[in-house]
Structure 1
Amino acid sequence: MPNRWHCLLLLPACVSAVTLDCKHIRIDKKDFDLSALGGPKTIHEQRWLPPSISNTTFTIDLCGPLKKLKGVDSKEQCPSGTRVCGVEERYNPIDGVKEVTEVRPIAGEYSTSHGRSMDPEVTRLKESSNTAQEGLSIELRGGKFPETRNGDLQKAIIELHCDSELTGNEGFGDDEAVVDAATYGRMGKRADDDNDNGDEDEPELPDLDKGKSLQFVSYKSEKDDLGVLRLTWKTKYACESAEKAPAKEPEDDKKTAGWGFFTWFIIVLFLLIATYIIFGSWLNYNRYGARGWDLVPHGDTIRDIPYIAKEWVGGLADRMKSGGSRGGYSAV
């Protein structure tokens, strides 16, 4: 029983240990905010596998689980809770058809489904690689492929390199490069023609990630059959100088706090007035048997408010008119 209560008391710490809060990352007494890098980002690995061309799209959301894509079969997407997913498509130029051949959940939170946690590990590049490069190294785990007893565990290692000129979101948007099956088919046909001429060079595949701050490094099986995806990401948010908050932030906080106090003041005042009216009406009904306007405390005064306001506005208008003239007399 004591051990069970001990686990319950430590539950908040355990939950924070298996998640990655992009907004609050503290390493070696230095704070980093990577929330601007949130959202799905894609990167590609292309290979020539005669007679097909393989294109593996790696999708990563550093700050939250990937959302399911509408109109795409669930079998062609990674399971819920995935942060890093790899989907391989193969294009066969012979029949001009593309198909999804592999779906690899590389990293994510699968504690409820498969008992594996993401177990993130964040270190400074200066500490992990013993180099002068400023930045962070983030390791995310939890994936397994295939999802069988003998499947290989997966891991993603993302190195965020400090670059004060880049936000890290360059190259991502609706205008990202996309190659359809027909284009790959023409590449495969050119490769076949080259091979007929005795040229064994692979066809030059298009660069789908040109201009992106996020770049693919490698994806391969490392020690203990662990599948490791390595990516590099240039961003100013990995710079240690980026930890300093803007100078105007405290003023914004004061404005927010002031507006909150004013809002609560209005709410409390409204509740007090409503309570007074309700209690006064109840008292007039039970003590004097009042009905209609007589129920409302000071009902006559409230009823006369429109007339009082009208008279006050009229008097104010008369004073303004009289103040702008001399009453018909002229100076002698």
Structure 2
Amino acid sequence: MRSPSRAAVLALAVATPALAAWDCSLSLGSAHLNLAQVDAVHSWETTVQTPPSVTKTRYALSLCSALPDPSSSAPEDDCPHGTRLCMRAFSSRLGLEDRLLSVVPVAGELDGGPAFEPSAKEKDGEKADQAWVLELGGGKYNGVEQRARIEMRCDPNAKETSPTVEDYDSKAGVLSLKWTTFAACPTNSDSRPPPSEGDNKPDDDGGGGSGGRDQDGARDPVGHSGGLGFFGWFLTLLVVAFVAYFAIGSYQNYTTYSATGWDMIPHRDVWRDLPYVVADLFKGRGGSRNGYSALG
């Protein structure tokens, strides 16, 4: 049998770790997802009361690279080389050392397991900028292929968080987790949540807030940019002039004629007769309140 050439062996060696070079980025429709922002080893523990003992399950997750190899003298007590999500269960009793119950390599580039192929999937009823599902596989335990379903929830303010355990189906080999983190938010601007009203920036015309655009985003030809506009300024000036007229006239009548009360109102007779003049105009008489009509 002809042995493979050196070039073929080298090509195989280069192709084998290709999946290990996953850069922690995924795409979901038009949304770009970058999990390299949480490139670290995340460890946490859950406990369940199982009298007379307590069952502790310890988890370790490293998305962008394999977990560190076990440093203990008993490597079988830890997940094998290439694991990215490891789950170990212990039985704990007061006064006794914890007893290892199981070691489950859930995901990673593992010998004898399925391919490690991370994928992003939509979560029913929610957009990518709200929540999505990360699926990891590659593990195998007790003859059952393992995989993890991580519900990734976007929260720009959630820093230094770890996943929480929702459920583990040992028969199906499915570990369900939930992770609220800023790294779950899409990194492309098209998929980010719309800014709030307080985040609106002035546009190129120097306007603020809406930038002189209507609700559909088109330029508003009338210029509704949050200002008063021509009619607003006209009415404002009219009110100011009206108030100034009464204030100045009343002051003049008070200082000049020592008028008080209703006598302070400037042109009092004109304002007193105005309702009757208007009423006569509407009646078509065109006369004064005394009943006299214009001649001619």
TM-score (norm 1): 0.48
- The reply on whether 1:145 has 2:141 as its aligned counterpart is yes
1:87 touches 1:103 (CA, 8 Å); kept in 2?
A: yes
Structure 2 counterpart of 1:152, which letter?
Answer: V
Residue of structure 1 equivalent to 2:61: 60
Residue of structure 1 equivalent to 2:183: 237
Structure 1 residues not aligned, in runs of 5+ = 1-8, 171-212, 246-332
- % of aligned pairs identical? 27
Residue of structure 1 equivalent to 2:172: 226
- Displacement of 1:60 after TM fit? 0.8
3-state SS of 2:173 partner: strand
Structure 2 residues not aligned, in runs of 5+ = 1-10, 191-296
* Larger Cα-atom Rg: 2
Q: Structure 1 CA distance, aligned partners of 2:73 and 2:167?
A: 27
2:78 touches 2:103 (CA, 8 Å); kept in 1?
A: yes
- The reply on whether 1:129 has 2:131 as its aligned counterpart is no
Alignment CA distance shift 1:65-1:15 (3 Å): closer
Q: Structure 1 CA distance, aligned partners of 2:141 and 2:26?
A: 29
Q: Structure 1 CA distance, aligned partners of 2:47 and 2:77?
A: 18
Structure 1 counterpart of 2:125, which letter?
Answer: N
3-state SS of 1:36 partner: helix
Residue of structure 1 equivalent to 2:264: none
Residues 130-174 of structure 1, C-alpha deviations (whole Å, 9 max, x = no match): 33571331111111112xxxx22211111110001113x24xxxx
Q: Structure 2 CA distance, aligned partners of 1:32 and 1:12?
A: 27
3-state SS of 1:96 partner: coil
Structure 1 counterpart of 2:146, which letter?
Answer: Q
1:56 touches 1:89 (CA, 8 Å); kept in 2?
A: yes
1:19 touches 1:120 (CA, 8 Å); kept in 2?
A: no
Residue of structure 2 equivalent to 1:267: none
Residues 29-63 of structure 1, C-alpha deviations (whole Å, 9 max, x = no match): 32222112112111222111221111010111111
Q: Structure 2 CA distance, aligned partners of 1:56 and 1:218?
A: 12
1:18 touches 1:119 (CA, 8 Å); kept in 2?
A: no
3-state SS of 2:76 partner: helix
Q: Structure 2 CA distance, aligned partners of 1:244 and 1:131?
A: 18
Aligned residues: 179
Structure 1 counterpart of 2:85, which letter?
Answer: V
Residue of structure 1 equivalent to 2:23: 21
Q: Structure 2 CA distance, aligned partners of 1:14 and 1:29?
A: 30
2:20 touches 2:65 (CA, 8 Å); kept in 1?
A: no
Q: Structure 1 CA distance, aligned partners of 2:19 and 2:52?
A: 46
- The reply on whether 1:161 has 2:149 as its aligned counterpart is no
Of structures 1 and 2, the one scoring higher in RCO (CA 8 A, sep 6+) is 1
3-state SS of 2:157 partner: coil
Residue of structure 1 equivalent to 2:6: none
3-state SS of 2:183 partner: helix
- Displacement of 1:73 after TM fit? 2.6
Q: Structure 1 CA distance, aligned partners of 2:120 and 2:138?
A: 15
Residue of structure 1 equivalent to 2:244: none
3-state SS of 1:64 partner: coil
2:126 touches 2:132 (CA, 8 Å); kept in 1?
A: no
Residue of structure 2 equivalent to 1:290: none
Q: Structure 1 CA distance, aligned partners of 2:108 and 2:148?
A: 10
Alignment CA distance shift 1:99-1:25 (3 Å): same
1:19 touches 1:118 (CA, 8 Å); kept in 2?
A: no
Structure 2 counterpart of 1:231, which letter?
Answer: L
Residues 174-220 of structure 1, C-alpha deviations (whole Å, 9 max, x = no match): xxxxxxxxxxxxxxxxxxxxxxxxxxxxxxxxxxxxxxx42121112
Q: Structure 2 CA distance, aligned partners of 1:51 and 1:35?
A: 42
2:53 touches 2:91 (CA, 8 Å); kept in 1?
A: yes
Residue of structure 2 equivalent to 1:284: none
Q: Structure 2 CA distance, aligned partners of 1:166 and 1:47?
A: 27
2:163 to 191, 201, 214: 214
Residues 101-149 of structure 1, C-alpha deviations (whole Å, 9 max, x = no match): 2111111112xx21531122212xxx33233571331111111112xxx
1:18 touches 1:117 (CA, 8 Å); kept in 2?
A: no
